[in-house]
Structure 1
Amino acid sequence: MQYLSTRGVAPPVGAGAAMLAGLAPDGGLYVPEQFPLLPPDRFPPGAHLADTAPRLLAPFVAGDALATELDAVCAEALDFPVPLTEAGGFRVLELFHGPTAAFKDVGARFLAACLARLAGDRPRTVLVATSGDTGGAVAAAFSGRPGFRVVLLYPRGRVSDRQEAQLTCWGENVLSLRVDGDFDDCQRMVKEAFGDTALRARAGLTSANSISIGRLLPQAAYYAWAGLTVWRETGTAPGFIIPSGNLGNSLACLWARRCGLPIGPVVLATNANETVGDFFAGGEWAPRATVQTLATAMDVGNPSNMERLLHMAGSPEAARGEASAVRVSDAEIRAAIRTGPGRYGRTWCPHTATAVRAWELLPAEAAQRPWVVVATAHPAKFEDVVEPLVGAEVPMPPALAELMARPRHFVEIGPEFAAFRELLSDLPGIP
């Protein structure tokens, strides 16, 4: 399998080379040259996610050095539970049982396991912008791995306290940068670093944001697994409702559906950042400044993965046919969290609450099919929002509690690329 740039200038590369590069040399995002058609009988009934993933991903790494390592990578990365549970009319895909209690653990651990097998002796700098959960998951996945340093950028004052603790508790080979700006500033600085050819080569830059196909491919696997599970139980391809920020998680679901897996309609649950909602309502694609909301990890005004969606669909009109979007206000997020324990027997994080509210807003006819709400983070990560609304303490998972007890280490920087470039150039081990 070869990977092409969405911008059509960079030459095709294999899966491993695309993962190591992160961003294509022409500034585009890597996409598969084609999507294999994978019939359901390729996947044994009752298989776990770690068994389903290699069967889905084998065509995507065919002919690459990763092909012989795929089973081992999936076993290493996907060694925690991913339950599919019932909740009052819909199913919940619980993606928050990994080491940092967020769905980003799946992609980050898979990518780290792949890069550890690909990088050779050359040191690599893993550069990542985060609106909350990505940075912690990437830091956890690469912490202590020889030959890797992680540089993560996050927006000051726009992540929860517990998220910030996860972003800054590592030290050693992880450098946490608190940026005086928003997520789009962080993402822009990362893209500028990749666009600086000399810096990119000297620092051995690679990406762990959802611009990396190493993040998206394993996420497609849990959609394939969940879709197959519900389809075998009900005879109907389920719809998925996905909290959407940078659109990587949503795109992974669309990729899995492109492969022929039983996945029905896809609904993107969005917040007051209206770029995506306006587009799917028929407007032009018009990125704008980020708006701060309760669902902080979804506060993205210029989602990178729209470039991939437009490339896959071929036109804006066709892209709008791939999914729909439902906008959820902060007031609705609060209401969904508040009523969660009584109505569903669940406590939701603010991001999952957007998806729950989007399900509640489905037309009656659409709601007749089976639906899967994607739960992206543990509510204990957002105790300052959740606990006052539910009137109770949300117990922390043991792994999260251990991270909270560690000291914090971070460096304050502004949103200007020149200073960031100088900092990267001065990192130990960069010539």
Structure 2
Amino acid sequence: MSEPLHYRSTRSAQHTARIEEVIAAGLAPDGGLYVPEALPQLAPSAFDPHGTLADTAIALLDPFFRGSALAPELPALCREALDFAVPLRALPHHPGASVLELFHGPSAAFKDVGARFLAACFRRLRARNDAPLTILVATSGDTGAAVAAAFHRQPGVRVVILYPDGRVSPRQAHQLGCFGDNVQALRVSGSFDDCQRMVKAALNDSALQAVSPLSSANSISLGRLLPQMSYYAHAALGWWWQHREPLNFIVPTGNLGNALACVWVREMGLPVGDIRLACNANATLPDFFDGAAYAPRAAVPTVANAMDVGAPSNFERLSWTFPHEHELRAQLQATSVDDDTIRRTLVHHAHGHHELFCPHTATAVHQLDQLQDHARPWVVVATAHPAKFDSVVEPLIGQAVTVPPALAAMLERPASAEPMAADDAALKTWLVERAHGPWAVAS
């Protein structure tokens, strides 16, 4: 058996772990994010030109899992998680441009890929006699529903979703609260950054972990981030074999997990060209890439709410990937798009081109519209189905958006969420009180 790849914290190289330990823990002991000691290098020849998305993922992730307890299960993990389409569809009104549709999974958002893979890992890592594990999730809208769908009724696992009350779309809020059983939604009286801080504080509390074992399913979890690389690799390789040129991506981003997955695919040696980040009015990243010092700030609410992040966690991983600021700034560009521009973009493409996008994808479409570079192939990454944001999209375009069947089924269920103060201690108290309580954990 090959030597396993080891992982370390973004904040220290002193503690190392194996991939199964990394997935189980979520966060490193020092509060940092886990990263591989080095990114593996792969060539297009390592992949099957006629393979499925799952086949691409198996080849891509093999170096990350090699020699681990999960290595023999990797093909099954990938096939379980990646059993829906992620089509690369040409945009007729933008010659040479395409949209990568990542919203065909159970919760109608790209988060389904990582959440389903992570849940499949936990099914194999957890023994029947383990104490119940509580998965904590901070969500700005889409992550929570994907994790809930992936872990719903999974034996030995509880899911607690924290979302900013009033700052997600009505349909997103319904999704978050519609599962019941082993899934509990908490509507926090604050921002996504408050939710994220509360989750990190709980995960870093050793006394709380002793009472109620915890893990994470946010993009701070490497078990979610790694499989997200697969759709970038699959799209880029497919284009490479047909055209022998790299694909360039415009990625809507908030917490930087999705964009980082694209960056890592490029750093592993696969044919990804330029990467541009599309942000909403939360301009932490655009300001940094424009030359300002990195300065996390309070998030402001926008119509692209799943990207309402002022302190993106994965900036730590991005800084580990490129330790020098001048080098990091040379790798990416980032643009901030305000709400009025998002609305105009949605209307223009719906009425002018019969193309419907969600508000987040519209930030990337706007960047595409502004590009002067028409000689190279560009891909807009579509992160969610527009039907999840009917309260934004439908009044603008003057027509109903067809609801995908999986989303429609969720919306038919009753939904509820408990209120929670934006306070670290409040969450810890809530978890302790329910550590041995009656809320459902299947056996």
Q: TM-score, normalised by structure 1?
A: 0.98
Q: Which residue of 1 aligns with 2:357?
A: 348
Q: Which residue of 2 aligns with 1:99?
A: 106
Q: Which residue of 2 aligns with 1:5?
A: 9
Give the Å deviation of 1:113. Answer: 0.3
Please say if 1:113 is aligned against 2:120.
yes
Instruction: Specify which of 200, 214, 217 is matched with residue 205 of structure 1.
Output: 214
CA distance in 1, matches of 2:115, 2:55: 18
Q: Which residue of 1 aligns with 2:414?
A: 407
Instruction: Specify which of 392, 398, 407 is matched with residue 405 of structure 2.
Output: 398
CA distance in 1, matches of 2:220, 2:210: 18
Please say if 1:86 is aligned against 2:90.
yes
Counterpart residue type for residue 171 of structure 2 = R
Instruction: Specify which of 410, 424, 433 is matched with residue 417 of structure 1.
Output: 424
CA distance in 2, matches of 1:137, 1:3: 26
Q: Which residue of 1 aligns with 2:19?
A: 15
Contact 1:203 1:430 in 2 (8 A): no
> Which shifted more, 105-114 or 419-428?
419-428
Contact 1:135 1:152 in 2 (8 A): yes
Q: CA RMSD in A?
A: 1.2
Q: Which residue of 1 aligns with 2:308?
A: 299
Contact 2:351 2:397 in 1 (8 A): no
Counterpart residue type for residue 33 of structure 1 = E
Give the Å deviation of 1:361. Answer: 1.6
Q: Unaligned regions of 5+ residues in structure 2, if any?
A: 439-443
Please say if 1:185 is aligned against 2:189.
no
Give the Å deviation of 1:430. Answer: 7.1
Q: Which residue of 2 aligns with 1:28?
A: 32
CA distance in 1, matches of 2:367, 2:253: 12
Contact 1:125 1:203 in 2 (8 A): yes
Provide the secondary structure at the position in 1 that maps to 2:15: coil
Give the Å deviation of 1:399. Answer: 0.6
Counterpart residue type for residue 38 of structure 1 = L
CA distance in 1, matches of 2:415, 2:264: 38
Residue by residue, what CA displacement relative to the aligned partner does 1:26-53 show, whole Å, maximum 9, x if unpaired? Answer: 0000001111111101111132111110
Give the Å deviation of 1:428. Answer: 4.4
Counterpart residue type for residue 241 of structure 1 = I
CA distance in 1, matches of 2:427, 2:228: 30
Q: Which runs of 4+ in 1 moved over 4 A?
A: none
The alignment covers a number of residue pairs equal to 429
CA distance in 1, matches of 2:300, 2:186: 21
Q: Which residue of 2 aligns with 1:325?
A: 334
CA distance in 2, matches of 1:369, 1:409: 47
Please say if 1:145 is aligned against 2:149.
no
Instruction: Specify which of 383, 386, 391 is matched with residue 379 of structure 1.
Output: 386
**Against the structure 1 CA distance between its residues 407 and 323, is the aligned structure 2 distance closer, same or farther, given a 3 Å change threshold?**
same
Please say if 1:246 is aligned against 2:255.
yes
Q: Which residue of 2 aligns with 1:48?
A: 52
Q: Which residue of 2 aligns with 1:38?
A: 42
CA distance in 1, matches of 2:165, 2:437: 27
Counterpart residue type for residue 34 of structure 1 = A
Q: Which residue of 1 aligns with 2:272?
A: 263
CA distance in 2, matches of 1:228, 1:397: 29
CA distance in 2, matches of 1:419, 1:237: 49
CA distance in 1, matches of 2:88, 2:9: 34
Residue by residue, what CA displacement relative to the aligned partner does 1:322-354 show, whole Å, maximum 9, x if unpaired? Answer: 211011111110111101234443100000000
CA distance in 1, matches of 2:63, 2:76: 16
Equivalent positions of 1:351-362 (< 5 A) are 351-362=360-371
Contact 2:212 2:435 in 1 (8 A): no
Q: Unaligned regions of 5+ residues in structure 1, if any?
A: none
CA distance in 2, matches of 1:340, 1:297: 21
Contact 1:10 1:25 in 2 (8 A): no
Provide the secondary structure at the position in 2 that maps to 1:242: strand
Contact 1:10 1:26 in 2 (8 A): no
Provide the secondary structure at the position in 1 that maps to 2:331: coil
Residue by residue, what CA displacement relative to the aligned partner does 1:55-79 show, whole Å, maximum 9, x if unpaired? Answer: 0000001111110000000111111
CA distance in 1, matches of 2:14, 2:89: 43
Contact 2:189 2:420 in 1 (8 A): yes
Q: Which residue of 1 aligns with 2:441?
A: none
Contact 1:202 1:430 in 2 (8 A): no
Equivalent positions of 1:364-375 (< 5 A) are 364=372, 366-375=373-382
Q: Which residue of 1 aligns with 2:137?
A: 128
CA distance in 1, matches of 2:223, 2:138: 16
Please say if 1:279 is aligned against 2:288.
yes
CA distance in 1, matches of 2:102, 2:410: 19
Q: Which residue of 1 aligns with 2:164?
A: 155
Q: TM-score, normalised by structure 2?
A: 0.95
Provide the secondary structure at the position in 1 that maps to 2:251: strand
**How many percent of aligned residue pairs carry the same amino acid?**
55
Residue by residue, what CA displacement relative to the aligned partner does 1:400-430 show, whole Å, maximum 9, x if unpaired? Answer: 0010011112110110111111100111437
CA distance in 2, matches of 1:233, 1:299: 37
Instruction: Specify which of 287, 308, 315 is matched with residue 324 of structure 2.
Output: 315
Provide the secondary structure at the position in 1 that maps to 2:71: helix
CA distance in 1, matches of 2:115, 2:391: 26
